[in-house]
Every structure is written in structure tokens, then in C-alpha cells.
Amino acid sequence: GNSVTQMEGPVTLSEEAFLTINCTYTATGYPSLFWYVQYPGEGLQLLLKATKADDKGSNKGFEATYRKETTSFHLEKGSVQVSDSAVYFCALSFPSGGSYIPTFGRGTSLIVHP
Amino acid sequence: DAGVIQSPRHEVTEMGQEVTLRCKPISGHNSLFWYRQTMMRGLELLIYFNNNVPIDDSGMPEDRFSAKMPNASFSTLKIQPSEPRDSAVYFCASSISGTETQYFGPGTRLLVL
């Protein structure tokens, strides 16, 4: 079956540090890949996505590149802010019965200190 | 624009009681998903609907759980009877069928004592 593996957290960084959150996936075929972010007390919201190999998704200074050869979609940001503190979920999806059903990773908590 | 609306935001109940969670999807979205989030199991898909019809309920943990979508703007998730192991955050999400992005509500935090 399909699965997503993320690095365990929490990841604790100082403001302006470089961020990498690793994500690898197992899937039959070529899924679309996503990063969702969950701020405290809120639901998940889409951060970025990539739909085919070598695509780079980017938003709010975050980037991730779809690497088919390593089945990875690592999330990066050059300089984190306190406001980036949240839980980050990597996900993949395929179409199923007219909908796209995501498979989520366990989530990685990011804590950014001033 | 209003996002996905869930109610209540918090629910505390006693074991054995019936619990009903409610969701209003984004207007125009015709796919609706119910998820459960726990520390132990992460984010689990319970059931999803397309055009108000349940498509896959294989994630519903047991017969105590049921979900309905009587119309395009309302869905319920019911637990009867509730048990302490049902304590979790329950999310509703909606999307436009055939598109990839899901829009999540703020969740209902359920505590069963």
C-alpha cells in the first residue's frame, strides 16, 4: 500500500535557522505530493504541492522538490520565524472514485525560538 | 469566504453517551471527508462522501460510528455509545471532486470520560 514516512519531531530551531524536514514515500505509480501545515488549535491547510517528478512546490518561503529517484519530498526553508512553529504533514494522493484521497505522514512538530 | 465550519469545537461527555459532531463544507464543494487525529495513530480517514453519497467507510472503527450527509451543506458524525478511546480531534474537510486540495475545518476536540 501507499505510505509516507516523516522524520520524527519535535524539530527545535532558533529564529533565522535553516529548516529541513525529511519526507519519503512508498507508492505504486506517481502520486501527487503535498505539504500541509497545522497551526495550534487549527485544522490542516495546504502549504505547497507538486504533481510530477522534478516539480518544485513553493509558498511562504518554503520549498520542496519531487524527487522520483529517491521517492522523497523534503521540506526546506532558508530562514525560519517564530510564526512558523506548527506541525507539518507530508502527504501523497492518487485519484480514487472521482476524489483524491490523501495518505498522510505522522506529522513533524516544529518549534522556533526567538 | 467562510471555510469549513465544525461544531462543537470542544465536547466533553461521559462514557456511554451519544456524541454528534457537525460539519458544514465550503459552498460548492461536493466531496466531504471525516478524519480522526490522535497522538498514537496520527491522522486517519474515517469516511468520505461524493455528492452526498458515502463512497468509502472502511476507516470507520466500528459500528458505534456512523456518518450521514443529508444534503450538500451538512454532515454529521455520530458515536453511540461513546468510549474513552474515542477521545481525539475530529476533522471535517471538503474539496471539489476531481481536485487534489482538501480544506480542513478547525476540528472538534472530543474528550470521553
Tell whether B49 is within 8 A of chain A (Cβ): no
DSSP assignments along A48-96, one per residue: EEE-STT-EEEETTEEEE-BTTTTB--EEESS--GGG-EEEEEEEEEEE
Give percent of chain A with pLDDT exceeding 70.
98
Best B101, B103, B108, B109 member to test A by mutation, with max A CBs in 10 Å, is B101
Taking only the tens place, the pLDDT of each residue in B32-91 is 999 999 988 889 999 999 999 999 999 998 899 999 999 999 999 999 999 999 999 999
- Lowest-pLDDT range of A58-72, A92-106, B50-64: A92-106
Q: Which residues of A touch B26 (CB under 8 A)?
A: none
pLDDT at residue number A19: 97
Contact B102 A102 (CB under 8 A): yes
Query: H or E segment at B83?
Result: none
Tell whether B112 is within 8 A of chain A (Cβ): no
Tell whether B98 is within 8 A of chain A (Cβ): yes
Size of interface A-B (CB pairs under 8 A): 58
Q: Are A1 and A96 in contact (CB under 8 A)?
A: no
Tell whether B103 is within 8 A of chain A (Cβ): yes
The DSSP 8-state label assigned to residue B84 in this structure reads: G
Q: Which residues of A touch B58 (CB under 8 A)?
A: none
Output the CA angle A9-A15-A20, nearest 5 degrees.
40
User: Residue B54: closest CA among chain A residues belongs to which residue?
Assistant: A97
* A101 grid coordinates: 484521497
For residues A102 and B6, what is the distance between their CA atoms, to the nearest angstrom?
21
pLDDT at residue number A97: 66
Contact A100 B99 (CB under 8 A): yes
Contact A32 B45 (CB under 8 A): no
Taking only the tens place, the pLDDT of each residue in B11-40 is 999 999 999 999 999 999 999 999 999 988
Question: Which residue, among B38, B21, B111, has the nearest Cα to B75 in the 3D structure?
Answer: B21
